[in-house]
Amino acid sequence: MTTDVLPAGERTHQLLAMRARPRPASALSAVATLAWRAMLKIKHVPFQLFDVTVMPIMFTLLFTYIFGGALAGSPREYIQYLLPGVLVQTIVFITVYTGMGLNTDIHKGLYDRFRSLPMWQPAPLFGALAGDLFRYSVASALILIVGLILGFRPQGGVVGVLLAVALVMTFCFALSWCWIIIGMLVRTPESVMTTSFIFLMPLTFASNIFVELSTMPGWLQAVVGRNPVTYLANASRGLMHGTAVWTDVAWVLVASAAIVLVASPVAMRMYRKER
């Protein structure tokens, strides 16, 4: 039987001839290349942007018009309070995809290939995180546009809004490390989702994203008041409206740093370790 691959001849021989390999990519260029891969995945599977686009729009519309009147007198007043919170919630939710993507790559054998390459070993993790920052930006832009259409008027101006988005991204970058750990621990992408949401649901709903802390019973205020997401929601609200309390911002940065300091060495260790 004849084979039609690999035409015979000098060209093929040249193509497969052993020769010195190029100098491996630098850490930065490897991360950039893997971030490019994340972009390509978005291009080929645009459905994965569904959660980033449709979900936040739905949340904003539903909460503004259903709860707006009851919670703040009118939807227009409520959206001034709600919108920064929806932004926080949306981005915090989609951090889960970092863990899911990693889990898929591990089980498809792709990470074995990456780990056998002569590149900076954690590059795939940082590449995925860099790709995620792009998704966070898309989601943030969409929420803000919808918000502006519905009457959201940030008093902090463009700078305040951008600072708020940057702060949310910083916290979410930190939080992603936790899902990276879960992504390496469990078997399927679905279990990454389920496991992560056990933590994410209380983290986002037991916060002041939707309602003021002062409307809650005292014991709950004690819990919600210590939730880092509450600080994040307060800080981004403050930044967007030009009324930021700097201690809120500082606490978010401290919490982000703490998560990165604890979770990233664990994640990197697990990543380097065999499985």
Residues that bind other proteins (CB under 8 A): 1, 3-7, 11-13, 15-19, 21-25, 29-30, 33-34, 36-37, 40-41, 44-45, 105, 108-110, 112-119, 123, 274
Q: How far is the CB of 53 from other proteins (least distance, A)?
A: 19
Supply φ then ψ for residue 230, to 5 degrees.
Answer: -60, -45
CB closer to other proteins out of 27 and 150: 27
CB closer to other proteins out of 26 and 215: 26
CB closer to other proteins out of 22 and 217: 22
The DSSP 8-state label assigned to residue 206 in this structure reads S
CB closer to other proteins out of 109 and 218: 109
Rounded Cα gap, residues 78 and 28, in angstroms = 43
Q: How far is the CB of 36 from other proteins (least distance, A)?
A: 8
CB closer to other proteins out of 48 and 170: 48
Q: How many CA atoms lie within 13 A of 211 on its CB side?
A: 15
Identify the CA nearest to 99 among candidates 122, 138, 132.
Answer: 132
CB closer to other proteins out of 153 and 275: 275
Query: Strands, E, within the chain: which ranges?
Result: none
The DSSP 8-state label assigned to residue 213 in this structure reads G
Three-class secondary structure of residue 158 per DSSP: helix
CB closer to other proteins out of 117 and 220: 117
Could you report how far apart the first and last alpha carbons of the chain are, in Å?
A: 40
CB atoms within 10 A of CB 156: 20
Q: How far is the CB of 96 from other proteins (least distance, A)?
A: 18
64: Cβ contacts below 8 Å, ≥ 6 apart:
75, 78, 79, 82, 150
Q: How far is the CB of 158 from other proteins (least distance, A)?
A: 34
| b/e 12-24 (16+ beta carbons within 10 angstroms → b) | eeeeeeeeeeeee
Q: How far is the CB of 122 from other proteins (least distance, A)?
A: 13
Q: How far is the CB of 182 from other proteins (least distance, A)?
A: 21
Q: How far is the CB of 127 from other proteins (least distance, A)?
A: 10
